[in-house]
Chains A and B, each alone.
Chain A
Amino acid sequence: MAEKFISERNLRFLLYEVFDVESLLQYPRYADHSREVFDMVIDTAMKMARDLFKPVLTEMDRKQPQYINGEVKVHPQVRTVMREAGAGGWIGATFDYEYGGQQLPEMIGAMTPTAIFSAANYSASVYPGLTTGAAGLIVSFADKAMQDLYLPKMMAGEWQGTMALTEPQAGSSLADITLTAEPTEQGYYKIKGQKIFISAGDHDGVDNVVHLTLGRIKGAPAGIRGISLFIIPKKRIEPDGTLKFNDVNCAGIYHKMGYRGAPITQLAFGENDDCRGWLVGEPNKGLGYMFQMMNGARIDVGVGATGIASAAYYASLEYAKERPQGRRLSSKDPLSPQVPIIEHPDVRRMLLFQKAIVEGSLSLLMQCSKYHDLEKVSEGEKKEDYNLLLELLTPVAKTYPSEMGILSCSAGVQILGGYGYCDEFPLEQFYRDVRIHPIHEGTTGIQGLDLLGRKVIMKNGRAYKFYLSEVRNTIAEAKNDPDLSLYAQTLEELVEKLDEVTKFLVGIATQGNPERFLADATLYLELFGIVSVAWQWLLQALVASRKLKANCNSEDESFYRGKILTCRYFFAYEVPKAQALMVRLMNNDGLTVDMNPAYLD
């Protein structure tokens, strides 16, 4: 199997050269850090990925979690991963010092290790990742007593954290959640209900599981205004510190297409009337709180997809260099040796496609991460601006890597031909693993609605306008670079057209036709994704071009030329796809709204 699963050089390029993570060191929040610290974080994450995550990638796929007597058994390495992630401080890497965190920037403490670990072994990476998300919610919204009770064990990797939202009748539609919580005089709530598809909801790699759960307090209003957030541990902590079973029952696990190293569980709360939950924050505000975790989780999904696509890219690249097959079209001699398939333009096209998706996605995600960091260190209006940008880009940064990651892994399978389809090579696993990403944490359809129906129009389009100005800043800079001005101009025209499409669609909304407004929201999201990743490629090319003008060694030169070539590829092969989307989006015929479903039979 290919050794390489992610490019450290590319990570450093994004961190230090494109997004200048060192610029954060000027803020008091990050004053204790330094470039050396960041470098050591990257080195250590790479080492852990190689030693702990990568060696069990295949095995965790083949030996799936098992449901035995109401409990879930997972691969023994899960316990090691959780303990090392805890002992190393990775679970709380970005948390404030006062909560036992390391106060690292998101770019270094969250984005970088998540990308590295998920590229090495996505399934293994979600156990600590989910725990970070759940612990983050506790930090933000729970009271001190609850923080003291749960955070140390979760951050040590001894207890698993989950997000428990989905119910059989409430998947995309969280407004329909029914898990109920009945107040008691002792302060806790008595919980009854069911959750399904809960990732890492039960397993023997930890000593307890802490579910951050959405439910309704008895008598709460219908819809999302009646949803509250609860902490419901699998085992509750008795006053004497011992753990007691809290009537959270694992009723089974699902057998999945991919991402098989982590179980998704069906959970029954309060079957024996003895399940206790503790309200987090105020009643009926749960969905708002949960969105903090969900936004983070959506970005993580984008990173996870990018990680898998990255591993697939390096596996297919290695293969393409070694597999001799066929001759160049210009070579007529049948006795000449066969050439490695990387000599064929069509194979190169597929490799460039993979590289463009992987590195374009990672750049967009890193951009989001930077906005997150800037939000943390800014005040007032600026803070809000960065928050709005992050909100706007979250559905894009979740969806583009997820949807395109599938196509990218598929190209990887294709490059291996028949071997790509067989399990001696890891490509078929990557292809199965990556398929989850457009589904969990809100399907692509839901992300489309979120982008067009909420984010683009919120605050009178303030986030959207700020986004356009960010893209235009890059365009203006690139116009001054003769090697890139052509792409700058193409992107400028593209942004104009995106704006035209947006105005057209919002116009439909103002005419009071929400169905037609949002019917093709997914396609709008797709368009937005192409624009955003084109922006990121221009940004990367801009930096690469600048570096090439200075003196650099031969490795660096090749790296930067690769960046510029891939930018050219993106503008030549991917950007034109936006045209088709725009043609469709500018048509308000209501084809899918008005059709008769019987015609599908």
Chain B
Amino acid sequence: MNIIACVKQVPDTEAQIKVKADGSGIDEGGIKWVMNPYDEFGVEEALRLKEKFGGEVTIVCLGPARAMETIRTALAMGADKGIHIDDPALYEADSYATAEALAAAIKGLPYDIIFCGQRAIDDDSGQVGSILAELLGIPVVTMVTKLEVEGNSAKATRPIEGAQLVISTSLPCVITATKGLNEPRYASLPGIMKAKKKPVDIKNAAALGVSGASKAKVVKFVPPPARPPGKIICADDTPEGKAAELVKLLREEAKVI
């Protein structure tokens, strides 16, 4: 079975994100980069399928040079090889341009199933998996929490409000993974040693035949407004006085009652 897992490198969930003074992006100084947590579920599921059916897992990642660490992490978990799409023309790619580059890298490869995370935790768009499937002309099931592959088809479970959908799909297909699908393994020390020697192909936009042109443009990064300071009610020290003051503030200042 040939399995592809797409991964993105994102700031660690614990990183303190600071917007650059000119609003052109985030300040990357001091940020720790990790594999997008939803992509980890995809990599883990890919490895499990490989363990069950045999075959190969290929990691595809678009990102600058540092993204190689994330590819190596996936290789250390047990994936076999990687494709690193690294081109400054693609660093600001929107979901469409990203999917286009991924599709171009994947097109020539044999694949039975492609995993993506349901979304990346940095820009939270949640579109790449679906666009990728569209560009490749194959089905997609998003937000998958359980997957059973049998022969040439798969049954994927997807939560919807108050229920679960079980969807049958033919292969090849794109599956976007979400929490609950599995518990991703840790890279092992022997895996880390081996990862160094596994092949990673580096490709730029020209090699893939894509322009990198985005359909959406980020106008400006703006940090969320700082939370206004709380107000301590101390007009009058009695409970009645405080309650009266609170009602007054809710009505006149907050205008919620």
Whether the pair A43, B188 counts as a contact (CB closer than 8 A) is no
Q: Does B73 contact A (CB under 8 A)?
A: yes
Shortest distance between the CB of A594 and any CB in chain B (Å) = 57
Among listed B143-151, B152-160, B189-197, B248-256, interface-contacting one: B189-197
Q: Does B17 contact A (CB under 8 A)?
A: no
**How many of B's residues come within 8 Å of A, CB to CB?**
18
Q: Does B186 contact A (CB under 8 A)?
A: yes
Whether the pair A554, B29 counts as a contact (CB closer than 8 A) is yes
Q: Write out the residue numbers on chain B whose beta carbons fall within 8 Å of the beta carbon of A8.
A: 32
Q: Does A34 contact B (CB under 8 A)?
A: yes
Whether the pair A40, B29 counts as a contact (CB closer than 8 A) is no
Q: Within the assembled complex, what's the spacing in Å between the Cα atoms of A33 and B196? A: 9
Say what secondary structure dominates the interface of chain A. helix
Q: Within the assembled complex, what's the spacing in Å between the Cα atoms of A93 and B189? A: 7
Q: Does A90 contact B (CB under 8 A)?
A: yes
Q: Within the assembled complex, what's the spacing in Å between the Cα atoms of A320 and B234? A: 26
Whether the pair A89, B72 counts as a contact (CB closer than 8 A) is no
Q: Write out the residue numbers on chain B whose beta carbons fall within 8 Å of the beta carbon of A44.
A: 76, 186-187, 189, 192
Q: Within the assembled complex, what's the spacing in Å between the Cα atoms of A88 and B187? A: 7
| Contact with A102, one of B34, B189, B195 (Cβ below 8 angstroms) | B189
Q: Write out the residue numbers on chain A whose beta carbons fall within 8 Å of the beta carbon of B76.
A: 40, 44
Q: Does B228 contact A (CB under 8 A)?
A: no
Q: Within the assembled complex, what's the spacing in Å between the Cα atoms of A325 and B41? A: 45
A44-B187, A47-B186 known; A37 vs B29 contact (CB < 8 Å): no
Q: Does B240 contact A (CB under 8 A)?
A: no
Q: Does B237 contact A (CB under 8 A)?
A: no
Whether the pair B69, A87 counts as a contact (CB closer than 8 A) is no
Q: Write out the residue numbers on chain B whose beta carbons fall within 8 Å of the beta carbon of A43.
A: 34, 73
Q: Write out the residue numbers on chain A whose beta carbons fall within 8 Å of the beta carbon of B186.
A: 44, 47-48, 84, 88
Q: Does B30 contact A (CB under 8 A)?
A: yes
Look across to chain B and name the residue whose beta carbon is closest to the beta carbon of A38: B192
Whether the pair B188, A87 counts as a contact (CB closer than 8 A) is yes
A36-B69, A37-B196, A40-B73 known; A553 vs B29 contact (CB < 8 Å): yes
Q: Does B124 contact A (CB under 8 A)?
A: no
Q: Write out the residue numbers on chain A whose beta carbons fall within 8 Å of the beta carbon of B34.
A: 43
Those of B28-42 within 8 Å (CB) of chain A: 29-30, 32, 34
Those of A545-576 within 8 Å (CB) of chain B: 553-556
Q: Does B14 contact A (CB under 8 A)?
A: yes
Q: Write out the residue numbers on chain B whose beta carbons fall within 8 Å of the beta carbon of A3.
A: 14
Q: Write out the residue numbers on chain A whose beta carbons fall within 8 Å of the beta carbon of B187.
A: 40, 44, 88
Q: Write out the residue numbers on chain A whose beta carbons fall within 8 Å of the beta carbon of B188.
A: 87-89
Q: Within the assembled complex, what's the spacing in Å between the Cα atoms of A88 and B186? A: 7
Look across to chain B and name the residue whose beta carbon is closest to the beta carbon of A84: B186
Residues 89-121 of chain A: 1 if any B CB is under 8 Å from the residue's CB, otherwise 0?
A: 110010000000010100001000000000000
Q: Write out the residue numbers on chain A whose beta carbons fall within 8 Å of the beta carbon of B72.
A: 36, 40
Shortest distance between the CB of B26 and any CB in chain A (Å) = 14
Which of A47, A88, A90, A553 neighbours the largest number of chain B CB atoms within 10 Å of its CB? Answer: A88
Q: Write out the residue numbers on chain B whose beta carbons fall within 8 Å of the beta carbon of A493.
A: none
Q: Within the assembled complex, what's the spacing in Å between the Cα atoms of A71 and B196? A: 44
Whether the pair A555, B193 counts as a contact (CB closer than 8 A) is no
Q: Write out the residue numbers on chain B whose beta carbons fall within 8 Å of the beta carbon of A556.
A: 29-30
Which of A41, A44, A90, A555 neighbours the largest number of chain B CB atoms within 10 Å of its CB? Answer: A44
Q: Within the assembled complex, what's the spacing in Å between the Cα atoms of A312 and B32? A: 23
Look across to chain B and name the residue whose beta carbon is closest to the beta carbon of A45: B186
Shortest distance between the CB of B1 and any CB in chain A (Å) = 24
| Contact with B189, one of A34, A36, A41, A554 (Cβ below 8 angstroms) | A41
Whether the pair A555, B29 counts as a contact (CB closer than 8 A) is yes
Look across to chain B and name the residue whose beta carbon is closest to the beta carbon of A555: B30
Q: Write out the residue numbers on chain B whose beta carbons fall within 8 Å of the beta carbon of A496.
A: none
Those of B193-212 within 8 Å (CB) of chain A: 193, 195-196
Shortest distance between the CB of A336 and any CB in chain B (Å) = 13
A40-B187, A88-B188, A90-B189 known; A553 vs B30 contact (CB < 8 Å): yes
Those of A24-53 within 8 Å (CB) of chain B: 32-34, 36-37, 39-41, 43-44, 47-48
Which of A40, A87, A556 neighbours the largest number of chain B CB atoms within 10 Å of its CB? Answer: A40
Q: Write out the residue numbers on chain B whose beta carbons fall within 8 Å of the beta carbon of A33.
A: 193
A40-B73, A43-B73, A553-B30 known; A32 vs B189 contact (CB < 8 Å): no
Q: Within the assembled complex, what's the spacing in Å between the Cα atoms of A41 and B187? A: 9
The chain B residues found within 8 Å of chain A, CB to CB, are 14, 29-30, 32, 34, 69, 72-73, 76, 186-190, 192-193, 195-196
Q: Would you mind naming 5 contact pairs between A and B with Cβ atoms under 8 Å apart?
A: A40-B195, A84-B186, A88-B187, A556-B29, A556-B30
Task: Kindly list 15 other residue pairs between chains A and B, CB separation below 8 angstroms, not including A3-B14, A43-B34.
Answer: A39-B69, A40-B187, A40-B192, A40-B195, A41-B192, A44-B189, A84-B186, A88-B187, A89-B188, A89-B189, A90-B189, A102-B189, A109-B189, A554-B29, A556-B29
Please name the 8 residue pairs, one residue from A and one from B, whose CB atoms are nearest each other, closest first. A89-B189, A555-B30, A553-B29, A88-B188, A102-B189, A40-B192, A44-B187, A89-B190
